[in-house]
Structure 1
Amino acid sequence: MSSAQFLVVGAGLAGASTAWRLADRGFSVTLVERDVPACAHGSSHGSARIFRYAYPERAYVDLVGASEPGWAELSAVHGAPLITRTGALDFGSDRHPHDLATVLEAAGVDHELLPQEQARERWPQIAFDSDVLLHAAGGVLDAESTVGAMVAAARAKGAQVLTGWPLQRLERTGPGFTAHALDGRTVQAGRVVVSAGGWLPELLGNLSLPSGFLGAFPALEVREENAFHFPYRDGGGSAWPTLIHRRRSGYVYALPGGRDAQFRGQKVAEFNAGRVLTSASTRSGVVDPANRERVVEHVRRFLPGLEPEPYAETTCLFTSTPTEDFVIDEADGVTVVSPCSGHGAKFAPLLGEIAADVALGTGSVPERFRVGSAPVRGG
């Protein structure tokens, strides 16, 4: 039986970041993962996630800025950039690009507001239906490499990493905890951080958390999202930024697909439109044909620079709260760092810092991430 000052459950982006930050502060850490870090069954796999500053609320814009030093630090540790700055575009009647520009202006983030026709001239491969917000600092982050870099950094600071270790329950034992795996193995720790993503709904009641904390915990929704890769018509993607296109009839995002699809095209998906699951363990891995049909039609109408026939497709997990805010809070020695509501990857190095502070009782955490806080919607 191994023991540590901290047990971190889940080696996705948030969990790996927390293990790295705790180990870097000199604490003994055991990181357990039900599969392998950034596994394909979780929410942190693959090489393509949007990095963006554009949010309707200043608080999230500021958090993106606060994450930048951590990204620079982690890229230095990794030995290569983890974010490719392609630029990011926001448009559509319900994306409100002018309102987003006002928020970026107040936050001091460089941006441009482009009339619809001017944007069409600049990016003829995209059929814009509104004015367009561009901010050059946006781009694509490599989630899998980020997790790998954080796990390696944690190991370099002495953290133990156990893979193929699915947590079943936590038991309070003396001043700390005994964590029990499904196969009977155990780990002891003084304090525990749980970052279980889509598995949190089935774990939450087995974490020895106080009833008041559980009663105030926001409802969790796990979705099996669908993502599709469409080839570039011209055979190259050097001119493609990331896109968020939101209309009353749909919310679609797109980004260069990276290694996930041999750099051949754009990854295109609807946001929060997948099948609702009870937990990650009920994921089917089967793409929804109706979802595919809607995304193909969107590509036909709005992305003429792509062939409207996907050459690759996959499913992935989004686990969300009703407000789309994260949960980072602690109760009696157990800190919950989950879920990330489909937009948390860009904050990864910062989430670990906040979680470490919460677990240690130092620093501060945005009130909106506390269990039982007043509902405020993310974006």
Structure 2
Amino acid sequence: MQPDPTTSEVPHVVVGGGVVGAATAYTLTARGERVLLVEQHGRGHHEGSSHGATRIFRQGYADPEYVDLTTRALALWDALEARSGTTLLDRTGAVDHGRPEVVDAIAAALASAGIPHESLTTDEAAARWPGIAFEGRVLTHATAGRIRSADAIEVFLTLAERTGLAELRFDTRVTAIEDHGDDVTVSLGDGTSVRTPSLVAAVGSWAPTLVGALLAARGARLPAVRVTQEQPAHFPSHLPDTAWPSFVHWADGDDVYGLLTPGEGVKVGFHGTGPVVDPDARDHRPVAAEVERLQAYVARWVPGVDASRPSLISCLYDTTPDEDFVIDRRGPLTVATGFSGHGFKFAPLLGELVADLATGGEPHPRFAL
């Protein structure tokens, strides 16, 4: 029987060109592995969770394990900047305020990890950052800031390409996956197929539909990944860029995050409150009542911006019940999903964790299925 000329073989197929897929392709090629990356949308697309110019980097977790992961990620961000010659992390500092039990727990975790931080009164914080109104406890740490997220994805992809070991195919959808036991055949929308012993599904919100059944057939189940359409917004600021740290308000209602996106305004959003959607059938249209609620919040708590002029954003969250990530392998399939609105800051570390699995390593116990 003659081999199918439309089927090729490659050591690793990475599905997903967002930040986790891009970081994984970068890490694998840096280790000398050959990779095909396929992405159903265009390069730098706006259909998933990774798009936009900025994301928060912060070490302010109440969970010591996540604090440790931020320290590991920070070292990898520094290494990536050095290798690429590109600034990717602007250390503006971060401020947490609100519910005392949460802020105090964050302070304790930072102290345990030896990360310098400072507690302030609300008056001291308002004098330092007049664009924000504060309540409850206030905590700041200087190692935090904002990631130049669009630039980061492009750096991961470009460095992978430069090795000569990566082929990147955009606007190429996976139409089927056939499990052979030790390897899989991945059928693509361009009419070709690829056989591989290592398929990485770094597809975020698309994981349940793309690989849920394949995992179930191997005796593993994804947690209930809740896919929502979130709608933060940029608001114009009348303060200088240097006036803005990244910030999280641990409010009595929904938690809120914010940071400056230079040239676009201050991005403010509720954490994980959007409607459940099908990632292939979302309309990107804002929920009017939620826009009004966000504007009311901003008018009260972010006096350094014009709350009446939001520039709305639409993005996806793929959230697990405990907001822990899912990074694990079954047979030839490695899955990465459930980043729950807080994964981007860990991107170079996530690339390492996923690449470890794809090359035969063990999963991080916290993120195993």
C-alpha contact 2:40 2:174 (8 A) present in aligned 1: yes
C-alpha contact 2:179 2:214 (8 A) present in aligned 1: no
Residue 350 (structure 1) aligned with residue 349 (structure 2): yes
Q: Tell me which residue corresponds to 1:377.
A: none
Residue 244 (structure 1) aligned with residue 216 (structure 2): no
Q: What displacement does 1:208 show?
A: 6.3
Give distance in 1, aligned partners of 2:43 and 2:344. Answer: 15
Q: Tell me which residue corresponds to 1:310.
A: 309
Q: What displacement does 1:78 show?
A: 2.8
Equivalent residues in 2 for 1:323-362, closer than 5 Å? 323-362=322-361
Q: What displacement does 1:91 show?
A: 0.6
Equivalent residues in 2 for 1:146-225, closer than 5 Å? 146-157=152-163, 158-173=165-180, 175-205=182-212, 207=214, 210-214=217-221, 217-225=222-230
Q: What displacement does 1:206 show?
A: 5.2
Equivalent residues in 2 for 1:1-379, closer than 5 Å? 1-93=7-99, 96-157=102-163, 158-173=165-180, 175-205=182-212, 207=214, 210-214=217-221, 217-234=222-239, 236-258=240-262, 262-263=263-264, 265-277=265-277, 279-362=278-361, 364-371=362-369
C-alpha contact 1:326 1:369 (8 A) present in aligned 2: yes
Give distance in 2, aligned partners of 1:205 and 1:100. Answer: 35
C-alpha contact 2:215 2:330 (8 A) present in aligned 1: no
Amino acid at match of 2:171: G
TM-score when scaled to structure 1?
0.91
Give distance in 2, aligned partners of 1:143 and 1:63. Answer: 19
C-alpha contact 1:77 1:149 (8 A) present in aligned 2: no
Mind listing any 5+ residue stretches in structure 1 that lack a counterpart?
372-379
- The number of equivalent residue pairs is 362
Q: Tell me which residue corresponds to 2:4.
A: none
Give distance in 2, aligned partners of 1:94 and 1:38. Answer: 39
Q: Note the alpha carbon deviations across 1:204-236, whole angstroms, 9 max, x for none.
A: 24546634113xx211100100011111124x2
Residues 77 and 36 of structure 1: CA distance in aligned 2, closer, same or farther (over 3 Å): farther
Q: What displacement does 1:144 show?
A: 1.4
Amino acid at match of 1:92: G
Amino acid at match of 2:96: D
Local SS of the residue matching 2:219: helix
Local SS of the residue matching 1:96: helix
Give distance in 2, aligned partners of 1:251 and 1:288. Answer: 18
C-alpha contact 1:254 1:268 (8 A) present in aligned 2: yes
Q: Over aligned residues, Cα RMSD in angstroms?
A: 1.7
Give distance in 1, aligned partners of 2:270 and 2:151. Answer: 24
C-alpha contact 1:250 1:270 (8 A) present in aligned 2: yes
Give distance in 2, aligned partners of 1:206 and 1:181. Answer: 18
C-alpha contact 1:172 1:208 (8 A) present in aligned 2: no
Q: Note the alpha carbon deviations across 1:304-348, whole angstroms, 9 max, x for none.
A: 111112341111001011110001100011000112111000000
